[in-house]
Structure 1
Amino acid sequence: MALALAAPLAACGGGSDDSGADQESIGLLLPENKAGRYEAFDRRIISSRLSTLCLECKLEYRNAGARSDIQKRQFEALVNKGVKVIILDPVDAHAARSWVDAAAEKGVQVIAYDRLAEGDVAAYVSYDNEKIGRLQGKGILDALGSRAATADVVMLNGSPTDPNAPSFKKGAHEVLDGKVHKIVYEQDIPGWTEAEARKKMAEAIKDLGAAGFEAVYSANDGMAGGAAEALKSAGLKNVPLGGQDAELPALQRLVSGAQTFTIYKQVRPEAETAAEIAFRLLRGKSIKSLTPETADSKSKTGIPARLFNAQIVTKDNMEDTVIRDGVAPANWICTKELAAACKSLGLN
């Protein structure tokens, strides 16, 4: 997969000219560039798939850099240009409602991608986020083993502006509540920022004491990186710590032992499905076969949807998941510093 994604085809490259109508364009608005997946995978896979479906189509790509105001301007520029289908991964799903509704009134069809934007969206492509939360909870329980019933857990949840975050939290609580002794510290982390997660983890260690918790739930890998730094600074080792997204730094932390598990969501089927839905909407074709489920937001019910499954990745099954799929080849994970640990795991 890494080789297949080496370069998006020019036929679908993002343009910079926002003047004039462009009925053959599909917009792609991604939320930020801190998480490695968006530029390395989502954008490239969507671009590649669209180019195989439609040689004359053009992908108008923009990244908001985690700023909702910038994304709003990007969205409105595409609408004003005449783009009729937009794949939107919103920075702030609630703020997007007014833009999505205004666009829908002009005949623009919006595909909510990865996060369910509020408003009159035409389709939604993502993962079953409550199931992901349950997987994360299971990862914590598996790591604790027989200690689970007496274990206290710190929870670092996702951003309150991300509609996926409450689903992850709900799913995790469904598994953890009643199975661990207590959730002793719980915070939502605005913007999913690593720095804020590190700050809150340090705060939890100070408030609870080094022996005041047995495991840490982190809603994603970026925040898990911050939590891992705080644990290391406090001299704490072998504390079960989970994340999500199977990012390269997280996979390296699995090898080193600084993180216990991550959640692997295969980006390719999600991204390719979004591209196919966008193409069909552009051509006025049915998307029913691509959206076997429905989803509800606060502003719309019965949204045609495709929700994919995910899986837990630990150091023990890394070779049969992310390495096998080419998402992170062993030579990317196994730096010089991790060579001995990789060898002990049989990673080549």
Structure 2
Amino acid sequence: MNVIMRRALTGAMALSLAAPLAACGSDHQDAGAGKDHIGLLLPESKAARYEKFDRRIISARIASLCLECKVDYHNAEQRVDAQKRQFDALVTKGVKVIILDPVDAEAAKSWVDAAAKKGVKVIAYDRLAEGDVAAYVSYDNEKIGRLQGQGILAALGSQAAASDVVMMNGSPTDPNAPSYKKGAHDVLDGKVHKIVYEKSIPDWSAVQAKKEMSDLIDARGPAGFDAVYSANDGMAGGIAAALKSAGIKNVPLGGQDAELPALQRLVAGTQSFTIYKEVRPEAETAAEIAFRLLRGKNITSLTSATAQSKSKSGIPAQLFKAQIVTRKNMKDTVVRDGVVRTDLLCADGLSAQCKSLGLT
């Protein structure tokens, strides 16, 4: 092969590899979409995982499976109307496989059903959308709720039976939120003295969670509760800020997602635990299912379970396991797996605490 031909081939391969990643960074609608396009619709960017991990891992895995495939990526920024426009635009464009993490699972039903009638395969990702979805990839969310409940009990220790607990649950529009709540109640009910306050926080808002916690402290006083369950780490950040403002210390607080600020709160001792859901297997499995559906291949080997929504049963599914992360096992979980760099984890005045935990 001469030098000119080699350079041309190398350039073509580089463009092919770059195309899926370039497509995922823009809302621009390319012309001529068809058999090689996969849609990726994520719900928001407040949670760090979506832009930092899910988007990149899915796009990279699809690129490794299919050089000619392109990923049409869009983020709804927590707006249902925006996600509907994005979904409809993909269908109009001719995209036949869409990975959808819905802002509002029930609102998505009419779009999913209409698309299915046109032969579009929708993979519900992380949250189970209503309607005729072709597959579902997520975690066992009731088990996650149970892990959260166990984390609260462990943090309370021998005082659990006499303790009053506050519960800040997830967004009413997220189909996973009731499962987390149910799992947590299954563990906490009868094991703690009482759930003294419970509220579902719209859009998983840290700001709203902080306000709810501040109002509750004003109403009940700083000794009016003994632990706080937070459905995710973002809200836990708002709750931790409210506790700090009120001068309240040593109140067990748990979250979910193993985000960097939460892991730093674990190091600092202002959050008791988080739930680590390894994103890579979830994202890569969704990408492989999308590719197989795009090519008309069987997905049975990738879906070892089934799921049921309000509108459909027997949905082929893959549900992964999660685990509790505390100060004691951070080194052997999120640090070992490269989820967080220790230089970032131990920044912001946490070097002494990190050293005492054996992280540096």
Deviation at 1:117, TM superposition (A): 0.3
Q: Which amino acid aligns with 1:12?
A: P
TM-score (norm 1): 0.96
Question: What percentage of residue pairs aligned between the two structures are identical?
Answer: 74
Deviation at 1:17, TM superposition (A): 2.2
Instruction: Tell me which of 18, 27, 34 is aligned to 1:10.
Output: 18
Is 2:345 the partner of 1:333? yes
Structure 2 counterpart SS, 1:118: coil
Could you tell me whether the CA contact under 8 Å between 2:17 and 2:67 is conserved in 1?
A: no
Could you tell me whether the CA contact under 8 Å between 2:262 and 2:271 is conserved in 1?
A: yes
Match of 2:271 in 1: 259
Match of 2:85 in 1: 73
> How far apart in 2 are the matches of 1:294 and 1:204?
40
> How far apart in 2 are the matches of 1:169 and 1:203?
22
> How far apart in 1 are the matches of 2:316 and 2:60?
24
Is 2:215 the partner of 1:203? yes
- The within-5 A match list for 1:145-184 is 145-184=157-196
Q: Which amino acid aligns with 1:10?
A: A
Instruction: Tell me which of 238, 241, 245 is aligned to 1:229.
Output: 241
> How far apart in 2 are the matches of 1:71 and 1:11?
23
Deviation at 1:304, TM superposition (A): 0.4
Match of 1:140 in 2: 152
Match of 1:62 in 2: 74
Is 2:51 the partner of 1:39? yes
Could you tell me whether the CA contact under 8 Å between 1:9 and 1:47 is conserved in 2?
A: no
Could you tell me whether the CA contact under 8 Å between 1:27 and 1:83 is conserved in 2?
A: yes
Could you tell me whether the CA contact under 8 Å between 1:18 and 1:78 is conserved in 2?
A: no
| Runs of 4+ that moved beyond 6 A | none
The number of residue pairs the alignment matches comes to 341
> How far apart in 2 are the matches of 1:173 and 1:80?
43
1:18/1:97 CA distance change after superposition, 3 Å: farther
Structure 1 counterpart SS, 2:350: helix
Deviation at 1:255, TM superposition (A): 0.6
Instruction: Tell me which of 294, 301, 311 is aligned to 2:306.
Output: 294
- The within-5 A match list for 1:311-322 is 311-322=323-334
Could you tell me whether the CA contact under 8 Å between 1:141 and 1:176 is conserved in 2?
A: yes
Deviation at 1:61, TM superposition (A): 0.6
Q: Which amino acid aligns with 2:121?
A: Q
Instruction: Tell me which of 247, 253, 258 is aligned to 1:246.
Output: 258
Deviation at 1:258, TM superposition (A): 1.1
Q: Which amino acid aligns with 1:226?
A: G
> How far apart in 2 are the matches of 1:131 and 1:307?
11
Deviation at 1:18, TM superposition (A): 4.5
Structure 2 counterpart SS, 1:337: coil
CA-atom RMSD in angstroms: 1.1
Match of 1:4 in 2: none
TM-score (norm 2): 0.93
Which whole-Å deviations, capped at 9, do the CAs of 1:80-102 have from their partners, x for residues lacking one?
A: 11000000000111100011011
Q: Which runs of 5+ in 2 are unaligned?
A: 1-15
Instruction: Tell me which of 274, 283, 288 is aligned to 1:271.
Output: 283
Deviation at 1:20, TM superposition (A): 3.5
